Chain A
Amino acid sequence: MIELVDVSKSFTLHNQGSAVIPVMERASFKVEPGECVALTGASGAGKSTLMRVIYGNYIAASGQVLVAGLNVANAEPREILALRRETLGYVSQFLRVVPRVPTLEVVAEPLLDIGTEKHVALDKAASLLRRLNIPEHLWTLSPTTFSGGEQQRVNIARGFAHDYPAILLDEPTASLDAQNRQTVLTLIEEAKYRGAAIVGIFHDLDARRQVCTREINVSDFAPGMAA
């Protein structure tokens, strides 16, 4: 489902005298349906970067980034957009929404984007929000006014609204209490069970051990490391 072949990534800061900052090279691994792979490594080693490369948010300098057979590294914009709509989900650490849109609609949006009927989409959104303990009276409010933890849960609800075959999760349990953390882990288990390929970053060791089938240390892809 997800496969990286010899991927490298660096940043060139033109406004700092074109300083080149290499982040990773020769990154190769596969994630099969039903697997949940944890990216590990020290802070700054490139875990988030790698996730963003898979999502097409960062451009790979070389190599192939295959998601459901599509090479994200050189695909057409509309192919990547279609992939993100139907196949590849991404829960980042930040909730980025148009202000003023009610929470229920924020969560329903991925379903609406693939053409789901409105009432079906809203029902699914409602059930997810309930599981994540977002009280109903908040559903008509914009999540931009919520606390960090509440925003995180809305973010997760939105990420799981549609049954993506491939999911990227960046610190999904950060800033959550024990009960909500468990709910999120259950959601991940359910996704695994239906055959999704998941890549996640978990600082929380317990969470990692509970849901992840494998770990990949991104320090293995640090520049200058022998293969």
Chain B
Amino acid sequence: MNEYNFAYLDEQTKRMIRRAILKGLAVPGYQVPFASREMPMPYGWGTGGVQVSAATLTPDDTFKVIDQGADDTTNAVSIRKFFENTAGIETTEQTEKATIIQTRHRIPEMALSEDQILVYQVPIPEPLRFLEPRETETRKMHSLEEYGLMHVKLYEDISQHGAISTSYAYPVKVSDRYVMDPSPIPKFDNPKLEMDAIQLFGAGREQRIYAVPPHTKVVSLDFQDYPFEATKADHSCDLCGAEDSYLDEVIMDDAGHRMFVCSDTDYCRSRRDAGHLGRLAKEDAA
């Protein structure tokens, strides 16, 4: 007997997860505890995101998986195949064709629509964890909106490094209420957290789900005299020439040659298909 229930999880489990998701959407940014299941991959490999996706998928969905922006890394491929096997749904690498996108550590460059759902894989959901190790205390801080400590962390950054040095998993305030860890996306992606799509966050090992409904206010924390900046490498993509996308730096040889390419592989491909060429692509063509 080797037939899986649709999307691997039993119906009761999916119901439990959906309840957590609904609660998360009703209270944007609030971490909802859920009964995380044993999944066929170890903790730290996206079990939270997989469970959220499994509970969200319907047979008509088209599913995309990216890992640090790329569709073709081992983890993205594995998870995509997992859902092809257990749910039989259509999969795609094209962002605009997907109805559900599971992502690790990036938000796609292309703006998402109201018909799409973005599922994030989250390692540590608690933004206050590093300064306050007690779960009892952090829960109180969230419920009482006591977030002074979060700014202490940013203050320490500036006093030690001259600027807020946090470059990923940059904390945000959702809907003027909860402080949330947006998962380890680069801070460059933070402005995109205000979007038309539904955003769901799953942390399997920590057993938390949280959510941001469409068109919700999401503000990155900062100081008046040290405002938030969505920074990226000061380059354009060497393949497609994009000035406005987050770049990966790739070492090409041991002579110090490097190239910068869009981390979002689908975005890069679609730009190149449309005729945009970057430095190295032009050289190839020449």
- Whether A and B touch (Cβ < 8 Å) is answered with no
